[in-house]
Chains A and B, each alone.
Chain A
Amino acid sequence: MDLPGPYVLAVTPITAPLSAQAFTPIVGLNGMASVTLEAELQGGTGGSAVTVRVQSRIGSSGTWREIARFDFTGAAAKSCTIATGAASVAALTTLNADAVLQGFLGTDLQAVVTSTGTYAGTVLAVRAAVR
């Protein structure tokens, strides 16, 4: 692929509630064959929920599609690995809590974060190792 390596989809403090806050995308990942995603919520006190949706699209005019969803109530770290190669048709839809869509890897990745309640001393990091 063109640009294998580690990327940061979002590193941000979480304080006031966020309503589907999108982060600027990592772009130009042409030929991406697999990606390991890691989401970590440090601190995690005060609020009640953080949801991270990782999305991918095919080219800058493509539609963002959810490929992974991580749900937190307090401090935790979660990961998943997504690879291309699914042989069957999959519906592109919103994901349930802590779910993954295998097989769909476009050229761009982004994180969208929603939080409920007011967190204190909390940092969210979402990283991707792209191959």
Chain B
Amino acid sequence: MSRHRDALDRSLALKGESVILRRVVASGTATAAVDAPCLAFVRKGAGQEVSPGVGQRDYDVILSPTHIERAQWPGGLPVRSPPTEADPRIPVEGDQLIVQGRARLVRLATPTFIAGELVRIDLQVRG
């Protein structure tokens, strides 16, 4: 593991916040979720009122791939030949992040690779 990822993991262990990365699979009213407990740095961004008395806020989040890999999130995916999936460790738009007990939607995930290793994932979430 790279020193960059080690440093992020140490920092998260000291100062990170517990969150849950969640992918929800639904068909009609049937739903099932795949969770990965993670540590994250969560920074509040701009807030806005979406309807009278109802607000939502943007958050910038930093995750380490270490926790995602530990959970082997998002679990088993259909094996395709040839493979068509992007790196499954990287959340996609529509995934959820449970922050302080509230589900927020992932809008954008930006991975950082150094020397071919995934060392950090930046998320923009809203909710």
Contacts and interface: CB of A to CB of B under 8 A. Distances in A.
Interface of A: 3, 5, 7-15, 21-27, 40, 42-43, 110-111, 120-126
The 7 closest A-B pairs by CB, nearest first: A121-B28, A8-B75, A23-B76, A42-B30, A13-B27, A43-B30, A125-B32
B75 A21 contact: no
B13 interface: no
Given A120-B27, A123-B26, 15 more contacts: A3-B70, A5-B71, A8-B74, A11-B23, A11-B33, A13-B25, A21-B79, A22-B79, A25-B76, A26-B75, A27-B72, A40-B32, A43-B28, A121-B28, A123-B32
Contacts of B26: 13, 123
Secondary structure at the A interface, as helix, strand, loop or mixed, is strand
B70 A110 contact: no
Specify which of B25, B72, B73, B75 lies most central, judged by the most chain A CB atoms within 10 Å of its CB: B75
User: Size range of the interface on B?
Assistant: 20 to 34
B28 A10 contact: no
Contacts of A110: 76
